[in-house]
Structure 1
Amino acid sequence: MSIQIDARLSYDFAETSDILLQVEAAMIPEQVVRDARIDISPVEHFARVSGHDMIGDRIWLRLRGRLTVDYRATVTPQRIVADLAGLAATPFHMLPGEAVQYLMASRYCQSDLFEEFVTAEFEHLCGGERIAAIRDWIERNFSYEAGTSASFTTAMESFVQRKGVCRDYSHVMITLARAAGVPARIASVYALGVDPQDFHAVAEVFLDGAWHLVDPTGMARAEDMAKIGVGRDAADVAFLTSYGNAVFCEQRVRVSAVSEA
């Protein structure tokens, strides 16, 4: 099964501003991107740069006035999906360089503050079993409520409030996984099953020598996601970062299933 993506962004910029855009599905081995098209209103400058960990592209824009971005694509996921509980933890000394940084605390994911909690709550488990239990604990104990968090909300604040949106769920999942000694990063995705439909954030954990997508909200499955980009936390995967005052006009994301003949 493939995923049809249709996304639109529209913002106004009163002054000339630099914008970093990341909305295109990444062209990587775990997914095939077809019929991709991005239409951007006239700008002063357009340049592609690599995304974090060389996954996907970011686009530098410089403009003044109205920015409108329309993106469409069909993506066929081809990633290997495994039962998390059956995966072994990769020993620290066997971790590849790309995974090491994701053991560390980051701006929104203060994993060093949660080591005692993880030990007390999940000490009887290890590896993928522990990660699956953390995922289930978050889904069971948190409520999905829009408007209860902001762009500066940390995993600690979300953990205390026990509510938030996909960004907050993912930050808590990443934080607890790192506290458990498992490398974890955030992934921005388009996904089937997300309600309300929007850009979606999930976690990705390094187990048994490979990365595995995990959605602690329980809304989406790894096989139904089109990955956009990855990073340490939400600061690395924002769909639009503005270096100037932006006025929101419109945002729409539609993700639908396409049956293959």
Structure 2
Amino acid sequence: MKFKVQAEMTYTANTAGTLILNINALNNATQSVVAEELRVTPEMDEEELKDIAGENRLIRMQISEPCNIDISYHATVDNGWRLVDMSGIKETPVHQLPPEVLTYLHPSRYCQSDKLFRLAHNMFGDIDNPFVTVINMVEWIYTNIQYLSGSTNSETSAFDTVTEQAGVCRDFAHLGIALCRALTIPARYFTGYAYKLHPADFHACFEAYIGGSWILFDATKLVPLNGMVKLATGRDAADAALANIFGDIIFNTMLVNCTLADDAFKPFYYTSGSLQGISYS
């Protein structure tokens, strides 16, 4: 399924500095960037960086003097999702997990799975199929946590979200990740462009490692699961930030959009009794 994505951002640099952006669609074995263009005004030194796992595609820009910066990114992307049969799946013992997955079992800055261990086990610990377990977690988050714009900030953690019972997409994702890890289900943060998200913005959800595949979940239920264009994954939002700023550089404005480039689109959501998971990996 092909989508057209767009990001327009403006900054004011009061001094020389460095800006690292994470707005370029990921280009890997399962998601193909058909065409793209990045324009930065004024022109400056820039380079593309990739992390070792290949799950973040960064642009580093060196700002030599004070200026106003306009950034424009346009791309056509084939998101390459697939359905995975989750019937009869059993939890994978830790000693059988791939080494690269183990880091997604540990507590992280925003996902304190150690603090939510008892809650996770009391509510979801008696379900045999890990996919069904996560589906139940997502339903609980959706039912019990109010989606409330402006209710949280960059310091809000999964533990805070349980306490306040309100949050935005990144908080819903962090809570899902923390509950999964508390049950020894590896989970990671997923951010990207989202089709049919209103108002249009970057969107956060999470992936759980089940049956040898990274399966996508979105506790907000704001967008169809097959309407995502992946930007990055990480332990939590700190690993997949859209921008990292070094120097006296002020963010001003942002416009984000994701539209359909194909003729037809059939939205996919998990429903009660779902036993097919969607994967972007």
Structure 1 length-normalised TM: 0.94
Amino acid at match of 2:25: A
Cα distance, 1:119 vs structure 2:
0.9
Identity of matched residues, %: 30
The 3 A distance-change label for structure 1 pair 84 and 243 is farther
Matched, 1:210 2:210: no
Matched, 1:122 2:124: yes
The 3 A distance-change label for structure 1 pair 82 and 140 is farther
The 3 A distance-change label for structure 1 pair 161 and 173 is same
Query: Where do residues 13-162 of structure 1 align in structure 2 (5 Å cutoff)?
Result: 13-51=13-51, 53-63=53-63, 64-82=66-84, 87-126=89-128, 127-162=130-165
Local SS of the residue matching 1:181: coil
2:163 and 2:151 map into 1 onto residues whose CA distance is 12
The 3 A distance-change label for structure 1 pair 155 and 209 is same
Amino acid at match of 1:125: I
Local SS of the residue matching 1:112: coil
Q: Which residue of 1 aligns with 2:274?
A: none
Aligned 8 A contact 2:47 2:60 in 1 = yes
Equivalent pairs counted in the alignment come to 261
Local SS of the residue matching 1:81: strand
Cα distance, 1:79 vs structure 2:
2.1
2:158 and 2:52 map into 1 onto residues whose CA distance is 21
Q: For 1:136-182, what per-residue CA distance to the aligned partner results, in whole angstroms no more than 9, with x for missing partners?
A: 11111111111111111111111111111111110101011111110
Question: Is the deviation greater in 36-45 or in 95-104?
Answer: 36-45
Structure 2 length-normalised TM: 0.88
2:89 and 2:223 map into 1 onto residues whose CA distance is 20
Amino acid at match of 1:98: E
Aligned 8 A contact 2:35 2:76 in 1 = yes
Aligned 8 A contact 1:87 1:129 in 2 = no
Amino acid at match of 1:217: T
Structure number having the greater helix percentage: 1
List alignment gaps of at least 5 residues for structure 1: none
1:83 and 1:208 map into 2 onto residues whose CA distance is 9
Question: Is the deviation greater in 205-214 or in 122-131?
Answer: 122-131
1:153 and 1:5 map into 2 onto residues whose CA distance is 28
Cα distance, 1:69 vs structure 2:
1.2
Q: Which residue of 2 aligns with 1:183?
A: 186
Cα distance, 1:56 vs structure 2:
3.7
Question: Is the deviation greater in 245-254 or in 81-90?
Answer: 81-90
Cα distance, 1:86 vs structure 2:
5.8
**4+ residue runs of structure 1 moved beyond 6 angstroms?**
none
2:207 and 2:261 map into 1 onto residues whose CA distance is 25
Matched, 1:233 2:236: yes
1:191 and 1:111 map into 2 onto residues whose CA distance is 27
2:247 and 2:236 map into 1 onto residues whose CA distance is 22
2:163 and 2:2 map into 1 onto residues whose CA distance is 38
Query: Where do residues 215-226 of structure 1 align in structure 2 (5 Å cutoff)?
Result: 215-226=218-229
Matched, 1:12 2:15: no
Question: Is the deviation greater in 126-135 or in 87-96?
Answer: 87-96
2:109 and 2:56 map into 1 onto residues whose CA distance is 22
Aligned 8 A contact 1:78 1:223 in 2 = no
Aligned 8 A contact 1:2 1:260 in 2 = no
1:56 and 1:80 map into 2 onto residues whose CA distance is 21
1:134 and 1:12 map into 2 onto residues whose CA distance is 42
Amino acid at match of 2:223: A
Cα distance, 1:259 vs structure 2:
2.1
